[in-house]
Amino acid sequence: MKKRNKIILVACIAVATVALICFLAVYFVFLHRYHGKEIEAPWQAEDPFSLSNIATLEKQPGQPFVILNLADVQLCDLEDLFHMGETRQKIAGLIEKTHPDLITLTGDQTWSNENLISLLSLVSWLDSFQIPYAPVFGNHDFGNDKNSAVLDCAACCDVYEKGKFSLFKRGPSNLGSLGNYVVNVTEEGKIVKTLYFLDSGYEDCITDAQIAWVQWNANGIRAANGGTYAEAACFFHLPLPEYAEAYRQYRTGEGNVSAVGEVYVTYSLAGSSQNGFFAAAKSVGVSDMVCGHQHGNLFTLQYDGVRLTFALKTGKLGGYYAGEDVTLDGATCLILDGGKTTVFPVFSDP
Ligand SMILES: [Fe+2]
């Protein structure tokens, strides 16, 4: 073979190899669909309760226990690949500012269908802080349409469960959604706070089965806690109808609603359509609820014995609804100290 032909052949092989590698990369990162482990683990109200199945974090006596909540981080492999660094920098700044004992994430950590790189890198990056973290799913975590993303719901569960400092644990398989779990905060062996992490689904509602499962946990914890319900907080993505009602009463002066800090509502308060969870949760010791979903809304309203917090959106990715200017960016802090919990937003540096 002539030297010229050899060069052409090598060049063709090189181009074909690069093209194949590019095709495989695009295929496996953006086009392939990864399905996680399907685990049949149904729950029934008659099941025996065991406190040992619940993760526990220890609060140091006399020291505050700081929870830093990140909301709607909204990473996307395609659109945000070159902006993730800015969001990470902001989160690192918030962590530096608050020194959390626990980081919670109230859903939509990723959005759109391209969630493979986003989620894998988020989990390994969060692990690097060596701080426990507890995510819930929003309506975009596994795609803009239900389970349309590269990683489906079960695959996202697999990724979160592998996180070294992740407390995520998929819940029973018959609750209507998978991302349901509980964490207890203890101080000198006593439960001082129970944290319920609930999966509000893809534009669905917290189901009757989830409500019954929360009550079952609360009753089990009460039995282990000297017969009284532990003070509890719930973290979920979609706001309950009570958020809209609390805001309406706050605006009109009806009822007995009071605001803790500033109130920003820049978009509709529509969210979950379900009813019944609020009353059920309140009856088993829940005194704080934290949701995300509607970027640009931020408030903590004391309503009917429960503090309803619209968590501050974290970072500017994913945009704001209704063309609102991005003016609210940061996280929400919950501090347990001296038997009390305080809630306030922490704004990112511009
Ligand atoms: Fe959302």
Express each pLDDT in 198-225 by its tens digit: 999 877 789 999 999 999 999 999 998 8
Biggest CA-to-CA distance, the chain? 91
How is residue 18 written in tokens?
């690069």
Ligand 1 centroid, distance to 135 Cα (angstroms): 14
d(CA 236, CA 196): 8
d(CA 218, CA 315): 34
Ligand 1 centroid, distance to 110 Cα (angstroms): 10
- Residue 309 lies inside a defined structural domain of this protein: yes
Stretches where the chain sits below pLDDT 50 are: 322
- Residue 42 lies inside a defined structural domain of this protein: yes
Ligand 1 centroid, distance to 149 Cα (angstroms): 15
d(CA 111, CA 282): 31
pLDDT tens per residue, range 235-244: 999 999 999 9
Ligand 1 centroid, distance to 292 Cα (angstroms): 7
Alpha carbon 151 to its chain centroid, in Å, reads 16
Closest by Cα among 168, 42, 163 to 105: 168
Ligand 1 centroid, distance to 288 Cα (angstroms): 20
pLDDT for 325: 58
% of the chain beyond a pLDDT of 70: 95
Ligand 1 centroid, distance to 173 Cα (angstroms): 22
pLDDT for 336: 97
Ligand 1 centroid, distance to 257 Cα (angstroms): 26
Task: Answer whether 301's CB lies under 8 Å from 308's CB.
Answer: yes
d(CA 240, CA 286): 14
d(CA 228, CA 284): 9
How is residue 209 written in tokens?
């089965």
Ligand 1 centroid, distance to 109 Cα (angstroms): 9
- Residue 137 lies inside a defined structural domain of this protein: yes
pLDDT for 187: 94
**DSSP at 312:** P
Helix axes 116-127, 153-162, angle to 10 degrees: 20
Ligand 1 centroid, distance to 259 Cα (angstroms): 24
Ligand 1 centroid, distance to 48 Cα (angstroms): 34
- Residue 206 lies inside a defined structural domain of this protein: yes
Neighbours of 227 (CB within 10 A): 7
Which residues partner with 342 through β-bridges? 335
Which residues partner with 306 through β-bridges? 303
Ligand 1 centroid, distance to 275 Cα (angstroms): 19
pLDDT for 188: 92
Ligand 1 centroid, distance to 286 Cα (angstroms): 23
Burial class (CB in 10 A: 0-12, 13-18, 19+), 43: middle
- Residue 23 lies inside a defined structural domain of this protein: no
- Residue 20 lies inside a defined structural domain of this protein: no
pLDDT tens per residue, range 31-88: 778 899 889 999 999 999 999 999 999 999 999 999 999 999 998 887 777 778 888 9
Ligand 1 centroid, distance to 235 Cα (angstroms): 13
How is residue 245 written in tokens?
């009602």
0.75 surpassed by pTM: yes
- Residue 113 lies inside a defined structural domain of this protein: yes
pLDDT for 322: 46
Task: Answer whether 265's CB lies under 8 Å from 248's CB.
Answer: no
Ligand 1 centroid, distance to 274 Cα (angstroms): 16
Ligand 1 centroid, distance to 89 Cα (angstroms): 22
Ligand 1 centroid, distance to 49 Cα (angstroms): 32
Ligand 1 centroid, distance to 201 Cα (angstroms): 10
How is residue 50 written in tokens?
């065991």
- Residue 22 lies inside a defined structural domain of this protein: no
Indicate the number of domains in the chain: 1
**DSSP at 234:** E
How is residue 133 written in tokens?
């973290």
Ligand 1 centroid, distance to 71 Cα (angstroms): 9
Ligand 1 centroid, distance to 80 Cα (angstroms): 17
Ligand 1 centroid, distance to 139 Cα (angstroms): 5
pLDDT for 33: 85
Q: Which residue has the tokens 């409500």?
A: 211
How is residue 334 written in tokens?
């919950």
188: domain CATH number?
A: 3.60.21.10
Ligand 1 centroid, distance to 111 Cα (angstroms): 9
Domain that holds residue 38: 33-347
Ligand 1 centroid, distance to 318 Cα (angstroms): 10
How is residue 32 written in tokens?
């392939």
Helix axes 116-127, 84-98, angle to 10 degrees: 30
Task: Assign 40 to helix, strand or coil.
Answer: coil
pLDDT for 32: 77
Which residues partner with 300 through β-bridges? 309
Task: Answer whether 140's CB lies under 8 Å from 112's CB.
Answer: yes
Ligand 1 centroid, distance to 261 Cα (angstroms): 23
Ligand 1 centroid, distance to 215 Cα (angstroms): 26
Task: Assign 183 to helix, strand or coil.
Answer: strand
